[in-house]
Structure 1
Amino acid sequence: MSRFTIPVCHVDDIDHESSKGFEIGDLNFFAVKRDGIITLFQNNCPHLGVNLEFQQDQFLDADNFYIMCSTHGALFQPEDGKCVYGPCQGQSLISVDFEVIEQQIHIAEAATAIA
């Protein structure tokens, strides 16, 4: 049995080159789909501990290239969450482990207690 037990959404619910936020239990997180690859991160800036988005599901910069903190403009690589610009440069977002099962993104129940 897989340890990834909580379905989050269908992979097609996240548009290409975009992001989508989720809240399950105590976990506030978001997904980014870029070049067909999905990554999930906790919605928490390592610099100030604030949520990243400036509007619902808007975690990316104007070019949809970097994840951007709306509070101070820090930029993070979507493939690994590493900050490449801003006051938290060198730090990283915390990734959320997931598995795709029958085109549904699933996270582990234990992940919902992380926030």
Structure 2
Amino acid sequence: MSLLSRKRIWQTPPDVTLCPVSSLEDPGARNIVLQIEDAYFHGFLVRQGERVLGYVDRCPHAGLPLARQLDQYLSPDKRHIVCSWHGAMFQPQDGRCVGGPCNGASLTVWPVKVEDGMVVTA
């Protein structure tokens, strides 16, 4: 089965442990792919201090994953999430697009939380 023909899902069950917070750069971002039964979820985490946010890895403009290179979701100054295909810029704190072809649209939030130093799905 090719990567393009794999079944995609857009949500995850709660309480799946993803990674230690300490493994995320601050500020930084990391790609996460989860296999859930016969389907795959593609998301990414953004760390800002002790806060970790999750988003579905799908640009609202064209439906593509945001990063062309693994884990390269942030602008060089690490102030925005950037779609590497069309240059859309999103606020890390809420996923709202503040520039580019989908201005005003938002990334889909992937609920995550930090428990005992670990990032976990919520």
- Shorter-chain TM-score above 0.5: yes
Output the TM-score relative to the length of structure 1.
Answer: 0.87
SS in 1 for 2:22: helix
Q: Which has the higher contact order (CA 8 A, sep 6+)?
A: 1
Unpaired stretches in structure 1, ≥5 consecutive residues: 109-115
Q: Moved runs in structure 1, 4+ residues, more than 2 A?
A: none
| Pair 1:6 & 2:16 matched | yes
Root mean square deviation of aligned Cα = 1.3
Q: Give, in whole Å, the separation in 2 of the partners of 1:19 and 1:87.
A: 22
CA deviation digits over 1:65-88, x for unaligned, max 9?
100000000000000000000110
CA deviation digits over 1:39-92, x for unaligned, max 9?
100000000000101311110011111000000000000000000001101100
Identity percentage of aligned residues:
33
- Count of aligned residue pairs for this structure pair: 106
CA deviation digits over 1:17-59, x for unaligned, max 9?
1110000022100011124321100000000000101311110
Output the TM-score relative to the length of structure 2.
Answer: 0.82
8 Å Cα contact 2:52-2:112 kept in structure 1? no
Please point out which of 110, 119, 122 is paired with 1:96: 110
Unpaired stretches in structure 2, ≥5 consecutive residues: 1-12
